[in-house]
Structure formats: structure tokens, C-alpha cells
Amino acid sequence: MSSYEVAQRAPLSAPRLASQPTPLTVPQAAPRPQATPVTAPQSGARPAVPPARTHYSAWHRALPALLALSACSPHASDVAHIQAARIEAAQIEPVATIQELMQSEVDASADSIWDAIETTTTASGDEIKQPRTPEEWRDVRRNAIVLIEAANLLTVPQRRLSSVPFPAEAAGALDSTQIVQRIAANRAAFNQYALTLRQTAQTMLTAIDAKDPKALVNAGGILDEVCESCHMTFWYPNQVIPAFPHRGDPRFQQIAINPTK
């Protein structure tokens, strides 16, 4: 079919004029749905938009914000865990003081573990004391558990140092007010000492479960160093170590291992 014949079958109408719009004549086909007309805006008014278009546009504009919110916001289960943790933390109320924890749990349990293994040298030879029965190992293990958890308790905030103020116990030691100030200024270091104490006690627990006296003695030496380091930082940072008494001093006979030599 030639282009001339096409033009004869579907003649074009005259060009549109801006002042008199003329619809374009098209071949017969299935009627197309009428588009919803858009009302021309009045002065100071917004153009009317079809409802479906309005809903789609609002959702389309809000979608990025909703996606960002869902990505950044915690899940409901996470929020519940966070709220439960906050409630639990608010319910923790330390009763015992740091001094009471040290005397009743830390010192008592550590001394029991240290005393569980001893070597005494006599004229007849070495006498070795160590846990041997299941009951004896169970008793040492109980003290290790107490020591581990006592270290955790030392890190609980808002725990008082003591129930009443106390003076410095020796030359170079601090009184209670100075100790409180020192802990407050170095709380992170204080907590780290407590955590190191806990880790060392856990090493001791491993040795106990293995029924290994040698490993327990080695861990006990580390525990002594950890305790002394903390005490020298917060209790007696300026301690004065007295000179060993001479032979004429009455104390010499009391502390010398072999005073006759």
C-alpha cells in the first residue's frame, strides 16, 4: 500500500490552534477509558488530584523514610531485652560495702585456697599438704567460686567503701576519704583490677577441676600479685617498708627464720 493510499484512508485534520483546540481524528478502535480531568487551580488553591494518585504519591514519598526507620530501629524483641536489662539494673541495690566484701569473701576465700596447699620443711623432710579426697577438693572449689563472684560484685556501681570512716592504718596508707576519692578518679582501673582478679580465680578453678596442685600454686602466686597491685594503687600507694630489725632488736628473735645464724 502506498503512502498516498494511507493518506486517503486516514486524512489528517487541520493543525491545532492554541485558541481553538481541535481533537485529532484517529482510526476507529476500541474506546479508551476517559482520564479523570484535572481541575484547574483557583487562585490560592491547590490543584485537585485523583485520590488514587494522592495515595500513591504519599506512600512513594514516605517509603524511603520508612525503610530507613525499619533498618535503624531495634526489633521488638531487642527493645524488650533492653528494657528488661534497665529494670534489672535499677533493681540492683548494693548492701555490703567494699570493705565488707574484701573481708568476708575476697580475703576469706583467697586465704582458704592459699592454705589448701603448703610445703613445710622439717628435719625429717618436706611435708606436703594438699587436697586429696573429693570432699577436700570440693571445699577448695567452693572458695574459688566465691572468689570469682566476689570480683564481679566489686564492680557494681554505687557500692560504698565502708559503713563508717576509718583512718590510715599505717605509714603511707590512705584513710577512707582518700580511698573513695582515688577510686572515683580511677574507676576504670579499679574495675579492671577486679576483672583481673576474676580471671585469675577462674584459672585457679580450672586447676582445681583438674586436681592439679602445681597449677593451683602457680595461679595462687599470680593472685597474690594482682591483690598487691590493687592495694598499692588504692590502699597504700605510699607505703613505707621498715628495715629488717638487727640482731639486737627484740623483734629479730620473733621474725628471723634461724636467729642463731
Residue 246 lies in a domain: no
Whether residue 145 lies inside any domain: the answer is yes
pLDDT score, position 191: 98
- Residue 125 forms part of a structural domain: yes
Q: Does 226 reside within a domain?
A: yes
Per-residue pLDDT at 152:
97
CATH number of the structural domain spanning residue 132: 1.20.120.10
Domain assignment of residue 74, yes or no: no
In this prediction the pTM is 0.62
Low pLDDT (below 50) residues in the chain: 1-27, 38, 40-41, 43-56, 59
Domain count, the chain: 1
| Domain carrying residue 146 | 98-238
102 occurs within a structural domain: yes
pLDDT of 241: 80
Structural domain includes residue 38: no
177-213 residues labelled b (16+ CB within 10 A) or e (exposed): eebbebbeeeeeebbebbebbbebbbbbbebbeeeeb
Task: Return the pLDDT at 89.
Answer: 58
Q: Evaluate whether residue 18 is within a structural domain.
A: no
